[in-house]
Every structure is written in C-alpha cells, then in structure tokens.
Amino acid sequence: MTAAAATEEFDRISDDRGPATVPGPLPRFLPWLLMLGGALGLLAAFTLTVERIALLLDPNYTPSCSLNPVLSCGSVMTTEQAAFFGFPNPLLGIGAYAVVVTTGVALLGGIRLPTWWWTGLTVGAGAGVVFVHYLIFQSLYRIGALCPYCMVVWAVTIPIFWYTALATLDRSGKARGLYDGLRQYHAVPMVLWFIVVIGLSLHRFWTYWSSLI
C-alpha cells in the first residue's frame, strides 16, 4: 500500500469514527440512551425471568416486586399475557436489550453503523413499543395490576424507539422535511407520550391511589 493510499484509508476510518457518525437530533445523548436504557431494560427482563423461575419452583413464592394490590408482579406473571408467544415475555427482552446495549457501546466507541443497522434497530424497537402498549392495555384494563419491573421496560422502550427512529430518518436522508420538523420539537412527543401513560395509570387505579393520601 502506497503512502497516499494509506493516508486515504486513515482519513476514511477517521471519518467513520468521528463524533458526527451518530445521527439524530441528540448525537451525544443517543449512545448513552441506548447503553443505559438498554441496560435498565436488560436488568428488568433478567430480574423478571429469575422471579418467574422462582415462582415456578415455589407457587407460594412472593416476587420482590409484589408491593401492594396494584403494584404486583405476581398477579401479572401468572397470566396468559405474560407468555404471549408461549414462553415468558422477559426472554424476548434479554435478547433485544442486549442488542440495544451493544449498539450504544459501539456508538460510544466511535463506530459508524450502516443505514441497514439503523433500519433494523428501528423496526425491532417499533415492534417492541407496539408490544409494550399491548401489555400496558392488558395490565390496566384486563389484569388490573401493574408490574414495577415491567414499567421500567415501558419507560425505556418508548424513548429508545423514538430517538432510534429519528436517527434512522436522519441517517437515511429520506423524508428530510419530516425529520427537520420532528427534530425541532423532538422532546414534545416524548413528554406527551409519558403524560398519557401516567395519566391512564393514575385514572385506572385512582380509587387505590387516593386511599393512600
């Protein structure tokens, strides 16, 4: 390899690993969101799996997240919804959040991820956020109980999806007008999203919450 070719290759690698390689409205924030949010989701999914195994071994076992009649993992774990695909839902989270954490670490290391990776990550996160909202509905209006560890999963999945989707729009260069509009007010949908979920949770169990005041 000639000196000129070596210099060109070094410049290409440097460009691929520079800070501008992280797309989206918050390039400094996104790697940390994926790494820490993914780690929280992974920890919650792993803990739920351990608690589920303990409950299978001992039907009288009380999970650590069963705190009161409303915040009760035990009431949720034993339902059909907790094994939607025929096996405990947290097993999906263990695999999915491991990918999210790996992506965050790679971005912090300066690695430039290809567009197809961002697209795949957005599709996966989108499927996750749809499934999360199905579980939110089931917890509120069918099961009638909230699982604290599940709520951690809800809380991290929503922003992971939103900011991954924005990063994918930015990275692909398509729908630039849509991305530019969303980029200016990227926090607004997040705030409204959480207000709605929290509001529904308060409304659904208001009789119990008000009894604690």
Amino acid occupying residue 204: R
pLDDT on residue 92: 95
CA angle 120, 166, 184 (to 5 degrees): 175
- Within a domain: 8: no
- What would you report as the CA-atom Rg of the chain, rounded to the nearest whole angstrom? 21
Helix axes 187-204, 148-172, angle to 10 degrees: 160
- Virtual torsion, Cα 91, 93, 98, 101, nearest 10 deg: -160
Query: What total number of domains does the chain contain?
Result: 1
For the chain, what is the HEC assignment?
A: CCHHHHHHHHHHHHHHCCHHHCCCCCCCHHHHHHHHHHHHHHHHHHHHHHHHHHHHHCCCCCCCCCCCCCECHHHHHCCHHHHCCCCCCHHHHHHHHHHHHHHHHHHHCCCCCCHHHHHHHHHHHHHHHHHHHHHHHHHHHHHCCECHHHHHHHHHHHHHHHHHHHHHHHHHCCCHHHHHHHHHCCHHHHHHHHHHHHHHHHHHCHHHHHHCC
- Within a domain: 9: no
- Within a domain: 18: no
- Which domain range does residue 187 map to? 24-211
State pTM to two decimals. 0.86
CATH number of residue 123's parent domain = 1.20.1440.130
- Within a domain: 3: no
CA distance 198 to 154: 11
- Within a domain: 11: no
Neighbours of 129 (CB within 10 A): 20
Mean pLDDT (10-residue bins), the chain, 213 residues: 45 42 87 97 96 92 91 91 93 96 94 92 97 97 95 96 93 79 89 96 93 84
- Within a domain: 7: no
pLDDT on residue 213: 79
Q: Are 81 and 138 in contact (CB under 8 A)?
A: yes
- Within a domain: 120: yes
